[in-house]
Structure 1
Amino acid sequence: MKLRPDQPVTFGDEDRDFYIQQVHRTKPFGRTNHYHPTYEIYYLASGERVHFIDQRTVRLTAGNLVLVSKHVVHNSSDIGPPEHERVVINFSDAFLGAGHPLHDPLLFGAFARRSVLLKLNSQERFFVEQLLAKMVAEAAQERPGRELYLRVLLTELLLFAARHPVDERPETPDQQSPLHQKITEIAAYINGHFTAKLMLPDLARRFFVSPYYLSRSFKAVTGFTLIEYVNLTRIREAQRLLRETELKIIAVAERTGFESAGHFDRMFKKLTGTTPLQYRKLSRL
């Protein structure tokens, strides 16, 4: 698949109802703080990458297609030579959600798992790359029916993914580098103990690494500093409690490990753009 230089194409509102980017990179590159309210489709055309997705690391090779649901923490980084080609698509519920003629729950089946990795054979790769090439070309032109045609193409891609068998076997330790094994363990520990007081020196001792190594390595793999990841994990649980329970705001703060309601309010607004009370109201409309 021949990709042009970095040429992102976007249209829609500030939340990016639809976004597509194709890029060929030859220098080291890693995304940071990747957590957004849109669905993501990532196709690796060539090279190798490693993704941190929702507490685990996944090694990607050419011909891999990854679907990541909204509000799932994920980050891409180098593994081996940095050169790679990829296409990324982000789309919102508004772009292909309920109410649109093309909407069907089947299309979102893969996203129900939070993240899915599809390993395509040569015939499947050709099919997907043809679809992506059409999407890139269409998004780059302003002509009547552009948005409708992009919805049709996106629907076809999602239907392909929904019908494709998923290999849910976890990577074995020998498929992961020691660094990524360690970060996977630490991220899993944080997700299981986020209500506790999690400090860098304590975590470093628990996992037999130096604080400096832990701080630097965690950021490199996940895209987040340790404290950013801890706070994000807490806020994600707070969002669930605000949606699904009648707990008071201060009780939600306590249950998610925040030592004060003020700190909880500030961090919630920083990461979500709304206050906890506003979020609860909006989630129940």
Structure 2
Amino acid sequence: MNSSVHLLKSELFFNSDLKLFVNRCTEDFNLPFHAHDFLEYSFVAEGAGFHHIDQDIVPVQKGMLFVIPVGVPHVFRPASSNVSEHPLIIYNCLFHTELIHKLSATIQEKDIRSHLIALAKNEVPYVCISDQNRQIEELMVKLYRETSVAEIGSSSMLFTLVCQLIITTYRQLHQKRHGEQGPSFDFEYILQYLDQHLDMRIRMSDLSHRSGWSEKQIGRMFLSYTGQTFSAYLQHLRIQKSCELLKSSQHKVSLIAELVGYRDVDTFYTIFKRITGETPLTYRKKSRT
């Protein structure tokens, strides 16, 4: 291994008999480029940044999962040095090699067992997929909660959740490799992109560039899956998010307008009243009474 790569060893993380470690951390610029003698599943829960992994630098955002084989060097870096305002939050699930052998003895499907063992032996490249229908996110949250508060049966529950995580990840990887996800899969992530970037100027050409679909195809997909045009869907989504902020925050209306993508407050007022039938201030007052 390259001497410039820091090695993280199993004994730093694994204390329980299950040989499993799960955490939720905010990434910074302090952790060095490192490898480890265990298998790691890392899920991007919030924020954006970059994953330096092996020889690659991968832009990351919420919903991405990486499976990092034993011995592969990597490190996450947030997009901004101001980590308090723009955090990059990752769920990490670490597997000791002993647990990998137990899991491979339990999982029935030969292909999944072989894939798991190959990851442990560093015989396959790292995995990068986007979470489909938030299945992986739900499993990561359950794993984190179960390890945070130990209860009766926690070891059995964790073992079951880990099996689900491995199988769910393998299914989505298989779908990605064989092109089985289809238009609805791609469209789900177009909707996720809109939801996560409402404060930005979003054009149809941006979605086309990110998804590989033509603007005409994307337009048809919006009508098919939402019953609205792209512009109408985006407008309603922005107003929906502004309603949530009006109810849950003390932000001024002008700031809320900016947070959901409106640079002109008058335009925001006009569209808000047309869709909700009320002004933003009236809506805020009613929602709090």
**TM value normalised by structure 1:** 0.48
Larger RCO: 1 or 2 (CA < 8 Å, sep 6+): 1
Larger-Rg structure: 2
